[in-house]
Amino acid sequence: MVTPGAFLKASFHASREFFRPPVETPERDRVITRPRPGDAPVMVPIRSIGPSHGERIAAHLLSLDAHDRYLRFGYAANDEQIRRYVSGLDFERDEIFGIYNRRLELIAMAHLAFSTDPNLKSCAEFGVSVLARARGRGYGARLFDRAVMHARNEGVDMMFIHALSENTAMLNIARKAGAIIERDGSESEAYLKLPPADMDSRVTEMVEEQIAQTDYRLKVQAKQFWDLLAMVQEVRSGVRDSRERSSP
């Protein structure tokens, strides 16, 4: 459970970090720090996102390469198929969760789709995608845990994960959560029985969502600040260059 103290600590840390200048690291130079056994879990703000973020959802999915699209959707989805998927998202019925970086890029997202079958109202399906440069940090597992908590609080007692059998990362997440996995050739189906909601799950979801909303607002403010600073610096540079050209 997330305590008020953890919330305040996370908010303070975020406000201090976000207003440091962002530094773009080349892809080849990025170092992924993987959690070590015994390390305390790092809080990852996971935000529930709505239709106003449709363009960022599309940009995230379109950034996936052909193989990642194949693993996420079960087929090699082209750009038009991805756009149709995004335009068809039902934000009223389903839940979309996202993890944003400091540049407000959606680097990981999950789709918790609730069943439309009247006889299976207590069932939901989970799907997740993480950009290649953001892997190795446990984002998929964190999104899964967040989706499980929300599903419990919405009265879901069975979560399904339909994945290609070669999608070992997704199946390992489900297996570690205690899911039963049935393999049928190139495809696998995972079934996870969920416990009913309790006070801990309801309060934790409420606090974690508040943390994520605060985190996102800070990222928006920080991005606006650095964009404005970059514009001012560009104007100053242009004025300086103009003066140098006009000087005798």
Residue span of the structural domain in which 166 resides: 43-218
* Dihedral sign (CA 190, 194, 200, 203): positive
Best CA proximity match to 111, nearest among 168, 39, 61: 61
Question: Does residue 28 form part of some domain?
Answer: no
What does the pLDDT look like over 12-58, one tens digit per residue?
454 444 445 555 444 443 444 455 555 445 578 999 999 999 999 99
Question: Does residue 18 form part of some domain?
Answer: no
pLDDT of 118 > 70? The answer is yes
Give dist(CA 56, CA 216) in Å, integer.
14
Give dist(CA 178, CA 34) in Å, integer.
23
Count of structural domains, the chain: 1
Question: Does residue 224 form part of some domain?
Answer: no
pLDDT for 45: 92
Looking at residue 198, its amino acid is D
Concatenating the DSSP letter of every residue in 208-231 gives HHHHHHHHHHHHHHHHHHHHHHHH
Contact by Cβ (8 Å): 134, 169:
no
Question: Does residue 228 form part of some domain?
Answer: no
**CA distance readout (Å), 20 to 30, 102, 153, 190:** 19, 10, 37, 42
List the structure tokens of 76.
């090699």
Question: Does residue 11 form part of some domain?
Answer: no
Question: Does residue 202 form part of some domain?
Answer: yes
Question: Does residue 229 form part of some domain?
Answer: no
Q: Give the CATH number for residue 64.
A: 3.40.630.30
> Which DSSP state fits 74?
S
pTM for the structure as a whole:
0.76
